[in-house]
Structure formats: structure tokens, C-alpha cells
Structure 1
Amino acid sequence: MKFGSIERGPGRMLLLGTLANSFGNGVFLTVSVLYFTRIAGFSPTQLGLGLSIAGIAGLFAGVPFGHLADRKGARGTTVVLLMLAGLATTAYLATDSFPLFVVIATFYATFDRGAHAARQALIPAVLSGEKLVLVRARIRVFTNLGISAGAGLGGLALLWDTRASYLLMFAINALSFVVCGLLFLRLPAAPVAADRAPGEPRLAVLRDRPYALLALINMVMLLYIPILGVIMPLWISLHTDAPRSLTAVLLLLNTLSVVALQVRVTKKIDSLEPAIRSFRTAGLVLLASCLAFALSADRGGVAATAALVVAAALHVYGEMVQSAGSWVIGYELAPADKQGQYQGLFNTGIAAVQMFGPVSLTLLLVDWGTPGWLVLGGVFLAGGLLMAPAVRWAQGRRATAGETDPAPLAV
């Protein structure tokens, strides 16, 4: 993908930093499980327990670190947290006991999620007057590209299957945080929030019930995340006659679709009204995707494959329109001087779904089967329809508080 005029200046630095960091993450995700079980010697139970403890810590990191970004500056906070996450990755190289692993994993998850929250405050701060939503779309594209390329390199380490190859991959991931941080240092300094008014709570977002509802609905819609990577392989092997290799093909379809179409899909979702419509569309499309997944059960190989291809295509379209709508809603309904803590809460849904989604959806879909798909489809439809009244409530709350609506985001 070539850099167009929109990526010049802050946009370009954001994209390059994202590409570097997501490449390292792709490497890490590919090799980490086998390293910790085969090389470090932890049992699968120990690994799962340690990552769960770390995940809980990361789950609660977004709001306080986002608040820190508001108060101390989003650029500096993001860079420091990226460097600390890289340092934590380096510490994995010295992991020789389970308690030490839990400590390091907890620091890593905390700094990584904190950096993500601070970065969400940094993006609108440095893209003032630029095409914010379109840059967010391209950030998502570059994230997919980086993770895919990193996974390819990580795959080579799995083929070599030596301690040295695994440690090299960990070092590459650590370096990716450093490179991302250095690139972000070239961004303009973000403004710092003014001192709190007398009586104003330190973490105002925790008392903003309308915005919390927006974050909750967005989290519900994000239940699509574990479907392709976790549920689909199990569904194909246990409930259909489709070839198991179809999983890899559909995952590739998802990645290529996002790379090719995310920016195009995003262009018309530039303000709250289109964003609300995008959630309704996502609810309907994800419902249709669930129905197609359900129809693939107990079919012949050809029929099951056709149903799964349709399900995956609907899934990725629903994913793209939901993502674009969530960027607009999450930013426009947050106070300009509190973007860090508000984005920290809004994006906590990603960490929550990644942590609890695989287990809950396995029970719902893989164990229960077709009825589970119907329930999940109804959940998606309800979430898509409920976003409109939730946005109206949040707008009313802002009007009562005397806040002015921001100008529509240009794309």
C-alpha cells in the first residue's frame, strides 16, 4: 500500500509506528505459546492461569493510563508505556519460574493496554484538522498487514524450533515497541488537559453512565472477534464436513478484505448519523453471518463450504462497518480534554472480549450448536439497534452539561 497525501506528517508517523509494533505483535502471538510450554517448561494450565491473571490487570489499565495521558500529555505517556512494554518483553527472555512469569506477564499486559489507551488519546490530538476517521481506517489496515507479516516470520521460528530462534522472535517484538515509540516521538506534542474544576471527579468517565452504555454496546458487538480465530476452526472440525484447511483460507479472506476494503467502507461514515446507521447495518449483517454459520452444520462438504464462505464474507463486512462506526461514536461523544480516560473505557471492551469471549462463545456455539448461533445473532441485532437510543442519551447528557458537539469528522 502506497502512502498518499493523508499520511504525510503525523498520519505517516502513526502508520509507520503501527506497522512496526503490529509486526512485532504478530511475531509474538505466533511463537509465544510454544515458547512458554516447550522451552520455558510451563504446563498449559500454568500458561492459561498466568495469562488470565495478566489479562485481568490489563483489563483495568486503560482508564487510569488514559487519564495519565490527558494530564501529562498523550505523546510522552504513549512513548514511555511503549518502552516499558518492550522492556517487559525483554524480561521474558530471563523467565525461569512460574511466579516470575506471572509478574512479567502482568507488567507486559498493563503497559501494553495502557499504551493502547494513551495512543487512542494521541491520535485525535495530533490529527486535528486532518482526516481522522480515514487515518484510523488505514491504521487498521496497517495493523493487519503488520500482524500477518510478523506471523510469517514467527512461522519460520516454529519451523526452526530452537531456543535461539524463539528468543530472537521475542527480541524482535521488544524492538518493535522501541521503534514505534521513537517514531511517535516525531509527532507534535499533544495538549495537556486543564486542571479539574472544583468537585469534578478525577476519573469522570466512571460516572458518565451514557458513555458507559455506549462502551458496553460496543463490547457486545466486538463478540465477533473470537469467531474466526477460535470458534470457526472448532466449528468446522466438529460440526461440518468442510475441509479443515478451509479455516486458513477464510482467515486469509478476512485479512485481505480488510486491507482492500476498510478505507473504502469508512469513507462515508464521517459523523454520528452515519455511525449509528453503520451499527444497525453491522447488527443485521452479523446476524446473517451467524445464520450462515448455523446452516453449515450437518451439510455435505460442498454445501458446508459454500455456507462458511458466505458466513465469513458477511462477518468481515459487519466487522468493517462496526469498526468505522465505533471510531466516530467513541471520539465524538467524549470530552475533548478527557479523550484518554474515555478511550480507555471505550476500548476496554476489546480486552474483555479477548479474555472472556473464547470460553463463553465456545460454550454457546461449539457446545450448543445451531441454537447458540441464533442467540448470538440476536445479540448482534439488539446491539446494532440499541446504539441509536444510547447515542441520543449521550448527546442529551452533553447538552445538559453545556458541552458543544464537535465538528463532524472529515474523511
Structure 2
Amino acid sequence: MPPQILPPAGAPRVLAAAQLSNSLGDGAYYVTSALYFSRVVGLSPTQIGLALTVAWAIGSVAGVPLGALADRRGPRGTAVLLALTTGASVASFLFIRSFVPFLVAACLYAVAQCGLAAARQALLAGLVTPAARTGVLAHLQSTLNAGLAVGAALGGLALQYDTQGAYLAVFALDSVSFLLCGLVLLRLPTVPRSVGRGKGEPRLAVLRDRPYAVITALNAVLLLRMPLLSLAVPLWVVERTHAPSWVVSALFVLNALAVTAFQVRMARGVDGPRSATRTVRHSGLIMLASCAVFAFSAAGLPVWVTVAVLVAGAVLQVVAEMQQSAGSWQLSFDLAPAHQVGQYQGFFGSGVPVARTLGPLLLTSLLVVWGVPGWLLLGGILLGASLAMGPAVRRAERARAAGEEGAEHLEQVSGRRRAGAR
């Protein structure tokens, strides 16, 4: 890998190797799975969509208790177990031939994936200093995109052959990739378990942390940019512009290469809540500009001008994406108690399945049906969420400081009582 992509030696590099191993399989899986279940298994698009919606909805809820499990039992062992569970769920797809087993396997896959993401974040928090976490996450994101790009190319070969054997080979590859991911994670040192709950502290404290919940909700809104290039922009290009259809693939490749090459550089300087909030705010402004540019592509311009406008919109979009990612990573760690990183990361990460579940319907309604006004409304929504992040973060910081002062006061009172009893 280029120097800016290769993470520092030690735990960050091992985490990147684990990320690369399963992203290769996932890249192939993402581009082939829908066609396999439709053409080979014989499921209808409605059945596939319903199963995936239910699965990711359950996965978004399961992330918190599985993150709490990582806190209590240790993040390394939990991450390894969930990586193996994900591999097993993918392997079960090899034998599924009807809807109900597909629904069950899809739910297991989504639950294990959401839990694995939370456990990995808790593992990173235990092995990397707070000041270095965002930079390491930027390296991991670059690794993820590189792996997905290579995996998607492998999946393209399966699509070219378009046989049952080719599709099954992709599922086998993805299953083995998660097995390899688990084995790589075993190379990391053990992270101590959480010290446990404080007196009177609920088991899933994050569910009562309203300021953190507001930040998580705002981040989920910002994550609506995730289905843009995979769903909304392709439909927009085909139905609303004069651009050739190959532009869709070119924009996707542009996004993957940009994140791979520049995510680490974009994360530099994000080292605390203030810089993170500022970066998220900038991402909202750039995302509004991107939406306006994409809307302009439907102005009936010559084909080459339309293509140039779409590329400009995609460039702005990926810059906003990288800034939003860097800022949100920093906030998700800075505002979480050190002994509950797993459950807090599981809760914060629920924005991803929520965006995957609600994003397609919302974006197709806004952009494909409403057209230009829909793009401008989407840009306004994303800008509003990014601007609201600042006040939400300041409120969360005040609430956390008050909680720490209260805990310290109770500890002092308890100490005086023990001393008096003696």
C-alpha cells in the first residue's frame, strides 16, 4: 500500500489486515448477492428487500447489547466470535433455497455484522491512544475501500460468468474472508474487560444518555449520503440526465479511489470535539453544494458537459463524505465513557443500518420523484443536521462533565462515611 494508506506498525496494522481480509469478500458479495438470490434461488425483489429491511432493523438494535458484551467479556474475544458468526451466516447462504431460511440467515448476518463493528471499535479504543484513534480509523477506512474495490472486481468476474457455481464461489470466498479476519484479530493483545458498572448505573447506560442519542440521530441523518452513489445517483443518471450509463460505474470507482487515497489526509487535524464539530459543519456545506451540482446535471446540457457536472458533484460528495466520517469518528469516542466504549459504539453505529433501511425509500422519493427540488431539500436537510451537531456536542460535553462531577462527589461522600465508620 502507499505510505499514506499503510497504518502504523503494531495493533493498527493488524486491525487493517483484518479489515482488508473481510472487505475483499464483502466487495464480491455486495455486487452479486441480489442477482444470486433473484436468479438462482428464485426470490422476488420484494422478498429480498423485505428480508434485508427486517435484518438490518434487527441488527441496528442488536449492536448495543453486543457492544456491551464486548465491554464485559473483552472486545478481542467478542470480535473474533462475531467474525466467525458472520462467516457462518454467509456460508449458510450456500444451502438456502427459500424465503424463510433466507430471512433467518440475513438476520444472523446483520446482527453479527453490527456487533462486530461495535466490538472492533472497542478493541481499537483499548489498543490505540485517544489522540491517534481518528487517524487509525482513517487508515482502516482507506483499507476498507481498497478491499471493497478489489472484491467488487472479483464479483464482476462472477457476474460475467453468471452461473450458479460462480455465485457460490463468491459466497465461499466471503465466508472464508471472515474466518481469516477472526484469525488475524487473534494476533492482537488482549484488552482488559470493563471495570463494570458504577453504583446505580444501568446495564445499557447509553440508552439513557439523551445528549449522545441526539448526536447519534444527527449522524444517522448525515449518513443518508451512503445510498447516494449506490442507488439514487444511478437512477438519477438513467432517468433524469442525458449521460451514458457507464458514468454510474465511473462515479463509484472515483469515490472508492478518492477515499482510499485521501481519507487519511482528510482526517489530519481532527483531534477533539471542537475540530470534529467544525469538520462536520464543513461537510454539510460541501454536501449542499454537491446536491446543487447534481441537480444542475438535469438541465439538458450537452452530454460531455453533463458528465463533467456529474463528476464535479461526485468530487464534492466524496470530500463531504470523508470530512463527515472523520468528524463523527472523533465525536463517537470523545463523548463515550471509557469503560463503556463497546455499547456506545454499538449505539452510534446503529446509524449505518438505519440509513441503509430508510435511505433508499427516502432518497428515491426525494430525488427521482421530486427531481431538482428534492436535491435542494436533501442538501438543506444534511446542512441542517451538520449545523445542529455543534450545539448537540456542547450539550453532551456539559452533561458528561456534570456526571463526572456527581460521581466524584458521591465517591468522596462514600469515602468520608467509611472513614467515620472506622
TM range (shorter): over 0.9
Residue in structure 1 matched with residue 119 of structure 2 by the alignment: 118
Q: Which amino acid aligns with 1:379?
A: I
TM-score for both structures, normalised by structure 2: 0.93
Unaligned runs of 5+ residues in structure 1 are 405-411
1:252 shift after superposition: 1.4
1:148 shift after superposition: 0.7
Larger radius of gyration: 2
Find the partner of 2:384 among 375, 382, 393: 382
- In structure 2, how many angstroms separate the alpha carbons of the residues matched to 1:2 and 1:11? 16
* Residues 325-340 of structure 1 mapped to structure 2, 5 A cutoff: 325-340=327-342
1:283 shift after superposition: 0.8
| CA-to-aligned-CA distance 1:89-131 (integer Å, 9 cap, x gap) | 1111111222111111111111111111111111111113772
| RMSD (Å), alpha carbons | 1.5
Residue in structure 2 matched with residue 354 of structure 1 by the alignment: 356
Q: Which amino acid aligns with 2:139?
A: R
* Residues 162-311 of structure 1 mapped to structure 2, 5 A cutoff: 162-300=163-301, 301-311=303-313
1:2 shift after superposition: 4.1
- In structure 2, how many angstroms separate the alpha carbons of the residues matched to 1:285 and 1:195? 42
| CA-to-aligned-CA distance 1:166-224 (integer Å, 9 cap, x gap) | 11111110011111111111111112112222321110000000000111111111111
1:40 shift after superposition: 1.3
Residue in structure 2 matched with residue 313 of structure 1 by the alignment: 315
Q: Which amino acid aligns with 1:181?
A: G
Contact 2:7 2:16 in 1 (8 A): no
- In structure 1, how many angstroms separate the alpha carbons of the residues matched to 2:31 and 2:314? 22
1:302 shift after superposition: 3.1
> Could you say what secondary structure the match of 1:101 adopts?
helix
Find the partner of 1:399 among 380, 398, 401: 401
> Could you say what secondary structure the match of 2:404 adopts?
coil
| CA-to-aligned-CA distance 1:254-309 (integer Å, 9 cap, x gap) | 11111111111111112211111101100100000011111111322233222212
> Could you say what secondary structure the match of 1:131 adopts?
helix
Q: Which amino acid aligns with 1:330?
A: S
Contact 2:114 2:349 in 1 (8 A): no
1:335 shift after superposition: 0.3
Contact 1:7 1:15 in 2 (8 A): no
Contact 2:133 2:330 in 1 (8 A): no
Residue in structure 1 matched with residue 414 of structure 2 by the alignment: none
Deviates more, 1:29-38 or 1:142-151: 29-38
Residue in structure 1 matched with residue 56 of structure 2 by the alignment: 55
1:102 aligns with 2:100: no
- In structure 1, how many angstroms separate the alpha carbons of the residues matched to 2:163 and 2:292? 44
- In structure 1, how many angstroms separate the alpha carbons of the residues matched to 2:114 and 2:130? 27
Residue in structure 1 matched with residue 77 of structure 2 by the alignment: 76
- In structure 2, how many angstroms separate the alpha carbons of the residues matched to 1:128 and 1:260? 24
| CA-to-aligned-CA distance 1:348-391 (integer Å, 9 cap, x gap) | 10111011101111001110011111111111111111111111
Q: Which amino acid aligns with 1:332?
A: D
Q: Which amino acid aligns with 1:112?
A: Q
Q: Which amino acid aligns with 2:295?
A: A
1:324 shift after superposition: 0.4
Contact 1:241 1:298 in 2 (8 A): no
| CA-to-aligned-CA distance 1:130-178 (integer Å, 9 cap, x gap) | 7221111010001001011011111111112222211111111001111
